[in-house]
């Protein structure tokens, strides 16, 4: 069966007819171009070992060893995204983009489903290319050349924000709070020029963005709230329905994602590998 690339919904592409453990250079090149063009690519029925998952990731670049997620006991390159049947809180249950708190944010994440609930547990992805393109002109002018502040402390640190203090994600699923406490806050452009596509995208997110450079707290909050409202209420999202062996590979510089927490009483285990990125402009 020949490889086929098909757009899914509003954005993203599902790629079929390919075995990621045995990719030719030609197939890899086509997948790379689809990733650049669509911002997120999806695969089905990938029977990959942990070594094959890592090998696929290494074809894209250097792997980022996650500092805060629990790691696979035998493969430190793989972060475990797990919710046990008895746990109430999931990981990633709100709109965000991974690693925006790093000085050089991650390129993207490659998430492979190992165990999924009988229903629920889908992930929403939103295109920040489309969100930027749909901004009113006055807001494009307002954010041009402006930078926002991103931080990990209030999510992963010792003094987390109030709604996370009693979350059971901190019971063996998140760690290294002391590392987050001393991680310096960073700034990135609100309207970035994507290093691969050259397109503009909105690069703030409700989880890790805490302010706007050059604005007081209230003015920064108001600008971010306006951007978030636009991104959430616009028609920029697609929903991916997981099955065992499904994989999503998203570009952190061009997308948001949201893991739905609607499968209480069932276990879900995902294996995530994150790739190092490059400075943003």
pLDDT over 90, % of the chain: 85
- Alpha carbon separation from 107 to 99, 150, 281 (Å, rounded): 9, 16, 14
Beta carbons of 170 and 253 less than 8 angstroms apart: no
Model pTM score = 0.94
Spatial distance between the Cα atoms of 112 and 56, rounded to a whole number of angstroms: 12
pLDDT digits (tens, 9 = 90+) for 112-142: 999 999 999 999 999 999 999 999 999 999 9
| C-alpha span between 272 and 69 (Å, rounded) | 10
Catalytic residue at 72? no
Please state, in angstroms and rounded to a whole number, the distance separating the CA atoms of residues 93 and 8: 22
Are the CB atoms for 15 and 31 separated by under 8 Å?
A: yes
Indicate if 96 belongs to the active site.
yes
Count CA within 13 A, CB hemisphere, residue 107: 21
Measured CA to CA, the distance from residue 150 to residue 131 in angstroms comes to 20
What per-residue confidence (pLDDT) applies to 181?
A: 87
Is 257 marked active-site? yes
Please pick, among 96, 99, 147, 150, the residue that the annotation labels catalytic.
96
Q: Do the Cβ atoms of 259 and 93 come closer than 8 Å?
A: yes
Task: Give the active site residue among 98, 188, 251, 271.
Answer: 98
Rounded-to-integer distance, Cα 256 and Cα 271, Å:
19
53 is catalytic: no
Q: Which of 99, 147, 188, 257 is catalytic?
A: 257
List the alpha helices (DSSP H) in the chain: 25-38, 50-58, 128-133, 137-143, 153-156, 177-182, 217-233
What's the pLDDT score for residue 58?
98
Model confidence at 156, pLDDT cuts 50, 70, 90, reads confident
Which class for 170: exposed (0-12), middle (13-18), buried (19 or more C-beta within 10 A)? middle
If pLDDT is split at 50, 70 and 90, which confidence band does 26 have? very high
Q: Under 8 Å CB-to-CB from 125, ≥6 apart: which residues?
A: 11, 12, 39, 40, 237, 238, 239, 240, 248, 250, 255, 256, 257
> Which one of 99, 253, 268, 272 is the catalytic residue?
272
């Amino acid at each position: 069966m020949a490889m086929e690339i098909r757009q899914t919904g509003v954005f993203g592409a599902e790629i079929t007819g390919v075995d990621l453990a045995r990719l030719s250079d030609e197939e890899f090149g086509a997948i790379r171009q689809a990733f650049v063009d669509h911002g997120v690519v999806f695969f089905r029925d990938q029977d990959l070992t942990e070594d094959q998952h890592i090998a696929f990731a290494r074809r894209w670049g250097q792997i980022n060893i996650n500092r805060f997620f629990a790691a696979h006991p035998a493969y430190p390159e793989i972060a475990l995204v797990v919710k046990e049947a008895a746990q109430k809180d999931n990981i990633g249950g709100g709109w965000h983009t991974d690693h925006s708190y790093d000085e050089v944010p991650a390129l993207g994440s490659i998430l492979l489903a190992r165990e999924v609930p009988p229903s629920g547990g889908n992930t929403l992805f939103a295109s920040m290319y489309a969100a930027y393109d749909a901004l009113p002109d006055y807001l494009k002018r307002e954010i041009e050349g402006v930078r926002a502040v991103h931080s990990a402390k209030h999510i992963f640190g010792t003094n987390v924000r109030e709604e996370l203090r009693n979350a059971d994600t901190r019971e063996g699923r998140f760690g290294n709070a002391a590392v987050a406490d001393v991680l310096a806050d960073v700034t990135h452009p609100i309207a970035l020029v994507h290093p691969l596509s050259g397109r503009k995208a909105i690069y703030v997110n409700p989880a890790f963005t805490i302010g706007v450079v050059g604005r007081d707290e209230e003015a920064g909050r108001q600008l971010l709230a306006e951007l978030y409202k636009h991104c959430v209420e616009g028609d920029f999202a697609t929903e991916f329905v997981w099955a065992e062996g499904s994989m999503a590979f998203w570009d952190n510089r061009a997308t948001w994602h949201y893991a739905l927490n609607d499968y209480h009483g069932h276990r879900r285990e995902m294996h995530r590998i994150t790739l190092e990125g490059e400075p943003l402009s």
